[in-house]
Amino acid sequence: MAQSDVKARIGSVQNIRKITRAMEMVSAARLRKAEDRASSLRPYADALRRMTRQAAAAAGAGELQSQPVLRTHEQENTVGLVLVTADRGLAGAFNSQILRAGLNRAAELESEGKKVVFYASGRRGVSSLTFRNKELTGQYTGFTDAPKASNASDIADDLVAGFVDDKIDRVEVFYNSYVSPLVQEVRQETLLPLAAASVVGDDDAAEEPEEETTGPKAMVEYEPDDPAELLAELVPEFVQVSLLRALLESAASEHGARMTAMRNASENAADVIKNLTLAMNRARQADITQEIMEIVAGAEALN
């Protein structure tokens, strides 16, 4: 390869490195804000989950069928899968692992004879599912890097309406849970029906600290008096807050994954520049050696 070609490649790689370093710094700045938003919502989401669990326990299994939003459908013929992805790529396996988990779950449900409809948050999820000819009942884009409560409310309204109207019999959500900039875990949660949701499951109960068996305990009073009526008001709020938490966790995971991916890209670009520089120096030395040999050969010919 000629020296001019190597120089051109070094220049292009240096330009790419500048872009990746700038994207890394932008993601690092946004990550801090996303972490704060996700962590600030967790106490409220946990408190709402505990309240919903207590009301469900007080209502009992029979009363859960008294309200359309609470009842469990006799047959789960149609399952809605909510995939929380990003509007942009360049974030490593952030989007692909959510799509892989959702598609694997869809294949599992379809093998059981059930129909699967998708709700996709983020352009990457929408485009990938559209490319695979999957049925998209809802698509939500333009906010994944900084989601708001109104965005979660839009998705929750569609899910609750579909469940109440018997268009879907079960709702599951897949999202990246933020652990650290290097680690994002794919989480799957059931939102509807309430009886199958993680809010009333053993897993959540195990996460809470054990209550003291002795001493005074708080007495819970419900307004309205019927816990089932209270649940009918709590469930849409529970779905909305659960989705908002998923969106915020996903946003933090996105920025962390992109920061890590861009850092790795910058380091790889530095290695490429180093190797190309060595190759250019070897080519220059070879040219100089060739010129010296030609000069010496010409001098010997004159003598």
Domain ranges of the chain: 3-20+262-302, 32-208+220-260
> pLDDT category, 204, cuts 50, 70, 90?
very low
> pLDDT category, 277, cuts 50, 70, 90?
confident
The answer, yes or no, to whether residue 211 has pLDDT greater than 60, is no
Distance CA 238, CA 245 (A): 10
Q: Evaluate whether 190 touches 170 at the Cβ level (below 8 Å).
A: yes
> pLDDT category, 209, cuts 50, 70, 90?
very low
> Mind listing the pLDDT tens digit for each residue in 176-201?
999 998 899 999 999 988 877 766 54
> pLDDT category, 203, cuts 50, 70, 90?
very low
Query: Could you tell me the CA-to-CA distances from 168 to 121, 135, 171, 188 in Å, in that order?
Result: 18, 13, 7, 18
Query: Could you tell me the CA-to-CA distances from 160 to 192, 239, 275 in Å, in that order?
Result: 8, 8, 57
The answer, yes or no, to whether residue 103 has pLDDT greater than 60, is yes
CATH assignment, 32-208+220-260: 3.40.1380.10
Note the helical H segments in the chain: 3-63, 94-111, 123-131, 149-164, 202-207, 227-302
Note the helical H segments in 174-226: 202-207
User: If you search the block for the tokens 């599992």, which residue do you land on?
Assistant: 108
Q: Evaluate whether 82 touches 268 at the Cβ level (below 8 Å).
A: no
Q: Which of 32, 30, 35 minimizes the C-alpha distance to 178?
A: 35
Query: What is the per-residue pLDDT for 153?
Result: 94
**CATH for 3-20+262-302 (1.10.287.80, 1.10.3720.10, 2.30.30.40, 1.10.10.60):** 1.10.287.80
| Residues 179-186: contacts with CB under 8 Å, at least 24 apart | 180/256, 181/31, 181/256, 181/257, 181/259, 181/260, 182/256, 182/260, 184/94, 184/97, 184/253, 184/256, 184/257, 186/97, 186/98, 186/101
Note the helical H segments in 177-226: 202-207
Q: Tell whether the torsion through CA atoms of 53, 56, 60 and 64 is positive or negative.
A: negative
Distance CA 216, CA 226 (A): 25
Distance between alpha carbon 135 and the CA centroid of its chain, in Å?
20
In sequence order, the 6+-apart residues with CB closer than 8 A to the CB of 170 are 73, 76, 78, 79, 80, 190, 192, 193, 196
Distance CA 66, CA 74 (A): 14
Distance CA 20, CA 14 (A): 10
Average pLDDT, the chain: 85
> pLDDT category, 290, cuts 50, 70, 90?
confident
Note the helical H segments in 64-81: none
pTM of the entire structure?
0.82
